[in-house]
A = this chain, B = another copy of it.
């Protein structure tokens, strides 16, 4: 990679530099580079693919919705307003996409050493054919170049989807979603290419301000009148069935803790009723969330949806900013997570159930070797998702492999799961994960801890076979295990 015209992606990028390891890593990488992308968890809007309209402009595609990028610029004193992040009160923010792009491009140096830099470089060079580094000087040229490309038919969402080699993409959808976009995609023959994921967080965290609105929506979408907790459970189950019918493979759960302690039906009912009255305490609401996590494992053991848990993030650290901008503008901060005590009731009940597949994610790397690998290394229901969010980085992925493989091996992980919001970065993120895994495996070969044929087979498994298997129906999964 060089600055100015000629900027390009180096074929050895993100591979270890050690001259013994690198040739091995290249050879391992070669086996996975052209495999299809299996993207089983992400936040791409299904509507974008359903409508397949051209993307609007470079800033609204690449800058404004990318919380990684926004938070870094904010941390260095750029106001949210200047980045076009909308205000809840509708107050004025920058609306000129070219200005927003300039604000970003002139601060390219801030991203040195970050995964954002790696992904964006891949997107700019490989997806859009940019050949010079962003800077105050190049900002306008790049903007014009990108805008020009976005207008072309081959840069529409479905064309990019094909070009990216995506075999299947899971979106993330509220439990109360109509799934209309997925229906439209299915009508176009895309049923198995874009599948929904069942996300009931809004319903399970019963002290949210909008919870009662969401509850009414659940009644409407499920067609079940909810008079109490038992109806609520039936309605949730009905929605899960709808998602399953639409091709969903998994549910997704964001909780502050990993607690999954069940309540008695009577106690769950009491908390539910208080929530309906708006009098629920924070402690009761947390207990209800934990209970619903346990219930989700029970449901999953029956309907086969893979249970993805993303715990340990304190949302909305700065109430002031969130009050002005709403959630998801960069103020979600990880906290320590106790998987061992938290998940114990769930795992005692369902950890050996052939119907349950549970995928654990973390942003607390302290738990890699202490908790996650030991749990995944014994409970058949548990798999470890890829290092998530702040840890979805070259060094984070390397540390993950170095810490969890000892006890969990490779086959109790899910392979790469991307969690992408920025559609165009999907190939960049999978590319990076394959490179990091190739580098890790190459090191094992170079240290004579693994044979090269094993390393190559494992790389292919991690890139393609394992994620497919991890998110397959449990029947298929069992067949695989016994193959």
Contacts and interface: CB of A to CB of B under 8 A. Distances in A.
Contacts of A113: 401, 405-406, 409-410, 444, 449-450, 458
A118 B449 contact: yes
Q: Could you say how many copies of this chain the assembly holds?
A: 3
A415 interface: no
A409 B112 contact: yes
B21 A451 contact: no
A114 B378 CA distance: 14
A393 B165 CA distance: 38
A114 B364 CA distance: 22
A263 to B, nearest CB: 19
Task: Please tell me the size bucket of the interface on A.
Answer: 35 or more
Interface stretch (A141-149, A188-196, A326-334): A326-334
Contact of A347 (B13, B318, B390, B446): B318
Contacts of A473: none
B380 A76 contact: yes
A130 to B, nearest CB: 15
A75 B318 contact: no
Contacts of A446: 17
Contact of A110 (B9, B375, B382, B411): B411
A18 B18 contact: yes
B380 A370 contact: no
A2 B451 contact: yes
A436 to B, nearest CB: 10
A391 to B, nearest CB: 7
A454 interface: yes
A447 B112 contact: no
B335 A75 contact: no
A91 interface: no
A31 to B, nearest CB: 15
A334 B371 contact: yes
Interface string A299-325: 000000000000000100111110000
Nearest to A349: B320
A89 interface: no
- Residue from the set A13, A340, A409, A446 with the largest chain B CB neighbour count within 10 Å: A409
A481 B77 contact: yes
A393 B373 CA distance: 13
A374 interface: yes
Given A370-B364, A481-B76, A319 B334 contact: no
A285 to B, nearest CB: 18
A405 B20 contact: no
B390 A369 contact: yes
A255 interface: no
B390 A373 contact: yes
A411 B72 CA distance: 10
A109 interface: yes
A467 interface: no
A134 B437 CA distance: 24
Given A321-B352, A458-B112, A3 B453 contact: yes
Nearest to A334: B370
Contacts of A16: 447
Nearest to A344: B317
A83 to B, nearest CB: 13
Contacts of A331: 378
Nearest to A403: B395
Given A3-B451, A114-B405, A333-B375, 10 more contacts: A3-B453, A10-B448, A111-B409, A317-B340, A318-B351, A336-B338, A393-B406, A394-B449, A395-B402, A395-B406
Interface of A: 1-3, 9-10, 12-21, 71-72, 74-77, 109-115, 117-118, 133, 314, 317-321, 330-336, 338, 340-341, 344, 347-348, 351-352, 354, 363-366, 369-371, 373-380, 382, 390-391, 393-396, 399, 401-403, 405-412, 443-444, 446-451, 453-454, 457-458, 478, 481-482
Q: 3 shortest A-B CB distances, which residue pairs?
A: A17-B446, A10-B448, A13-B448
